[in-house]
Structure 1
């Protein structure tokens, strides 16, 4: 049995009610639920939430909400893995079903496509990886990064690359913050994601938006509307 777990607590601070605020004409979480369902990879698409309104909307969008997340797993500092582990244990205990794999999908991933999830599953099933996760490349070499000094001036973080040509520097990648596919034990044992047992699934930069501030939201919504006119990316 494979499940998707969408963690969506109700207490977001920087963008109030972020997980169900309208984005592209739909509650934000609806896009993640739709991608999970459309992938046809999961026996259940579960929304883990502590919020009754989010639970109602999630069910309307086709997800299941078999429990309300306990308060100790719904504060500002709760990591993702314990939330997924809690959902896994609940399904296995309440339904007596063995869950072999889980995929944590963030509720603020409107650019996520079903094929991204399929590639993640393929990496695990055929490549033997414990995790697969969405990633994207930095648009500028991180070896040429600068830091601002207290005086107001700048210095290079890596001065040894001061004269190295950009094209000669190694490409660097970052977590795209969209999904983390893994076997159940990897989540339960809280194995680190960013390790040699994980396969990054490369996404184009234009489909990667970290939506944490009102400015992030505006940027993502403008891009979504301009590129897709409210339709699922193809």
Structure 2
């Protein structure tokens, strides 16, 4: 709870992943991928209720085993490949309307810590913004990226008078890492997005910003865990 305001955390975990089959319940260093997010969320000093939204019976059982609340079964039409990521969050708020803030925790970010979750919430409160999302510095700067035109001609993604030779001469840029999204519930109902011109950022280190989408991501995250 924050200033007598209730906080709901939603972990969306559908069964039909494409890049890595059944990845949400596949073991990552001795426990299901989903469990890493459940355990981090349960440590938060602000979250009043942590739920998992899923249409998959096996995922639901795993979620309950690791202490998550599963108050409803997500409709299958909200668990398709083309389903916008915001839809399960809006659905959860409609099912559980008595929460002032909502936190989205994607299960594909197993290395985030509770300090990242609570830090993102605190950033929203301290700035007075309606939403806050976690970001990290990308490995490759967009100032060194190009689009290819006809004939293979290179066009800079970002126009600049001259291309910087050294990375330290480039402007600092940040990319979404998918780990934590926080917003005021009523505001999110209206915008249907965590990302608007009013959204503020919470910066996370690269070491905790890995998002699992491929087999290589699984191997990398396991290595990151074992070396800690």
Structure 1 length as normaliser, TM-score? 0.87
CA contact (8 A) 1:81 1:188 kept: no
Q: Does 1:33 align with 2:34?
A: no
Change (3 A) 1:192 1:87: closer
Q: Which residue number corresponds to residue 57 of structure 1?
A: 62
* Deviation, structure 1 residue 40: 2.6
* Superposition CA RMSD, Å: 1.9
Q: Does 1:217 align with 2:218?
A: yes
Q: Can you list the C-alpha shifts for 1:53-82, whole angstroms capped at 9, x where unaligned?
A: 111110111110011000111100111222
Provide the aligned length of Structure 1 versus Structure 2: 222
> Unaligned regions of 5+ residues in structure 2, if any?
1-5
| Matched position secondary structure for 1:89 | helix
CA contact (8 A) 1:138 1:171 kept: no
Q: Does 1:180 align with 2:181?
A: yes
* Deviation, structure 1 residue 178: 0.9
| Matched position secondary structure for 2:219 | helix
Provide the rounded CA distance (Å) in 1 between the counterparts of 2:13 and 2:51: 10
Change (3 A) 1:187 1:158: closer
Q: Which residue number corresponds to residue 3 of structure 2?
A: none
Provide the rounded CA distance (Å) in 2 between the counterparts of 1:79 and 1:185: 19
Q: Which residue number corresponds to residue 104 of structure 1?
A: 104
> Unaligned regions of 5+ residues in structure 1, if any?
93-97, 228-234
Change (3 A) 1:147 1:160: same
Q: Does 1:47 align with 2:48?
A: no
| Matched position secondary structure for 1:83 | helix
Q: Does 1:206 align with 2:207?
A: yes
